[in-house]
Structure 1
Amino acid sequence: MVDAQSVAILVLVGLGLFFTFVSTAGVLRLPDIYSRAHTASQADTLGAGFTLAAVALALGLETGSYKTVLLLFFIFITNPTAAHAIARAAEEEGIEPWTTDDDRTDEELYRDSNVETDGGDRE
């Protein structure tokens, strides 16, 4: 007989795997750094959150579950912050977001993204 806790753990792990695979597909398939950073911060955070919630539920009221909840809190804070830092660095380097009316080839985009900068502030 399967109890409710086991079903909840399986559902949480399934949701965690789903969002992690969505995040992986997004990072591999999306066209620019901005949309990749978005999917990595959003879907990956959800995937890790659901999976860690399943671990905390499986451990019960032990020291390990408290540490898992702290790790979950840490991931919820750091993943979006890291994605913001990556997107901001890309914007400061002058990397333009991909648009549907952009007809440049991948080689042209790569060549344009390798323009040397002086590292100073843009005005």
Structure 2
Amino acid sequence: MDPLHLVFGASLIAGAFFFVAGTVGLIRLPDRFSRLHALTKADNVGLGFIVLGLMPLAPDIFYALKLVLVWLLVVIAGATGAHLIAKRALRGDGEDVL
């Protein structure tokens, strides 16, 4: 194996670590805002590392650009969803009051 494959393999492992850390944050953190923060940050960074690790496996540049585009759309959707969830939780008009 060349060093470049090791770097991209380490990127995949780092992405998996961030996903696991986000899951642990979801289970262990005390309130919904902390859990929401842990999930969105860990998922965005974790998916970024996964995309970085998958880029050398892409057959051409267009597939690599599609991977980056999917990551950017997930980042935007995650931030928007987290904002809407936090806004509703602050208003307190939801059915689930913890």
TM-score (norm 1): 0.70
Identity of aligned residues (%): 29
Match of 2:86 in 1: 87
Alpha-carbon distance in 2 for matches of 1:28, 1:60: 38
Query: 1:75 deviation in Å?
Result: 1.6
Deviations 1:56-77 (A, max 9, x none): 2321534321210110111221
Alpha-carbon distance in 2 for matches of 1:94, 1:26: 25
One-letter identity of the residue aligned with 2:6: V
Query: 1:11 deviation in Å?
Result: 1.0
Match of 2:24 in 1: 25
Alpha-carbon distance in 2 for matches of 1:38, 1:94: 21
Aligned residue pairs total: 97
Match of 2:36 in 1: 37
TM-score (norm 2): 0.86
Contact 1:40 1:83 in 2 (8 A): no
Using CA pairs below 8 Å that are at least 6 residues apart, which structure has the higher relative contact order? 2
Match of 1:104 in 2: none
Query: 1:47 deviation in Å?
Result: 0.6
Equivalent residue runs for 1:1-123 within 5 Å: 2-59=1-58, 61-93=60-92, 113=97
**Which one has a larger percent helix, Structure 1 or Structure 2?**
2
Unmatched 5+ residue regions in structure 1?
96-109, 115-123
One-letter identity of the residue aligned with 1:86: I
**Relative to 1, partners in 2 of residues 1:59 and 1:4: Cα closer, same or farther, differing over 3 Å?**
farther
Deviations 1:6-46 (A, max 9, x none): 11211110110111000000011111111111001111111
Say which one has the larger Rg: 1
One-letter identity of the residue aligned with 2:34: S
